[in-house]
């Protein structure tokens, strides 16, 4: 049995326990992997580009596609959120008594119902509700509170 020293011994240990193989790992990689290395690189690039195109294609139709119709539960939740927004805006408006104002909303259409102490508050409530985000249409059914009632 022949003893191997130096670089040959290291290569033999790396390749395996076969002492008769003195070829380097780089030589084996060049023989077996070189033809596949370029194919793997090209395949990786093609895969990345495919996923990038797929992601950009998914983004584009969403912007142009019409929104799916909402379920009744989702519609009720949106209406409730709009009522809360309008009531909050009315509550933060100075010189507006909203104690007897009821806010109704359905699909962006808001209706104000109730009574206020004077005519100026009717227009103030309508302006405030109309400026609230999400309000597409406004019906103002507010009346002046009659004294004694």
CATH of domain 72-144: 3.30.1340
- How would residue 88 be classed by pLDDT, with cut points 50, 70 and 90? very high
Residue 106's SS3 state is strand
**Dihedral angle computed from the Cα positions of residues 74, 79, 84 and 85, in that order, rounded to the nearest 10 degrees:** 100
- Strands of the 109-116 sheet, one edge to the other: 101-106, 109-116, 137-144
In this predicted model, what pLDDT tens digit does every residue of 89-114 receive, in sequence order?
Answer: 999 999 988 889 999 999 999 999 99
The answer, as to whether pTM is greater than 0.85, is no
C-alpha distances (whole Å) from 87 to each of 76, 106, 134, 141, 146 are: 16, 15, 13, 15, 23
Backbone angles phi, psi at 141, to 5 degrees: -110, 30
Query: What Rg value do the Cα atoms of the chain yield, rounded?
Result: 38
Residue 2, pLDDT above cutoff 70? no
In this predicted model, what pLDDT tens digit does every residue of 102-149 receive, in sequence order?
Answer: 999 999 999 999 999 999 999 999 999 999 999 999 999 999 988 776
Between CA 101 and CA 109 the distance in angstroms is: 16
Name the burial class of residue 88, with classes exposed (0-12), middle (13-18) and buried (19+) by CB atoms within 10 angstroms of its CB: exposed
Residue with tokens 């104000």: 112
Mean pLDDT of 24-40: 56
Domain parsing of the chain, residue ranges: 7-64, 72-144
Between CA 91 and CA 34 the distance in angstroms is: 74
pLDDT at 68: 79
């Amino acid at each position: 049995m022949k003893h191997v020293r130096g670089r040959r011994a290291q290569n033999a240990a790396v390749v395996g326990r076969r002492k008769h193989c003195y070829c380097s790992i780089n030589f084996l990689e060049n023989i077996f992997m070189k033809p596949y290395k370029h194919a793997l690189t090209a395949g990786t690039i093609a895969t990345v580009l495919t996923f990038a195109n797929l992601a950009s294609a998914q983004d584009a139709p969403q912007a142009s596609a019409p929104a799916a119709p909402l379920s009744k539960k989702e519609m009720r939740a949106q209406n409730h959120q709009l009522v809360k927004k309008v009531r909050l805006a009315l509550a933060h408006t100075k010189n507006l008594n909203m104690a007897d104002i009821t806010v109704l909303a359905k699909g962006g259409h808001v209706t104000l119902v109730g009574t206020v102490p004077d005519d100026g508050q009717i227009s103030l409530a309508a302006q405030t509700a109309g400026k609230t985000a999400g309000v597409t249409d406004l019906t103002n059914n507010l009346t002046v509170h009659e004294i004694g009632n």
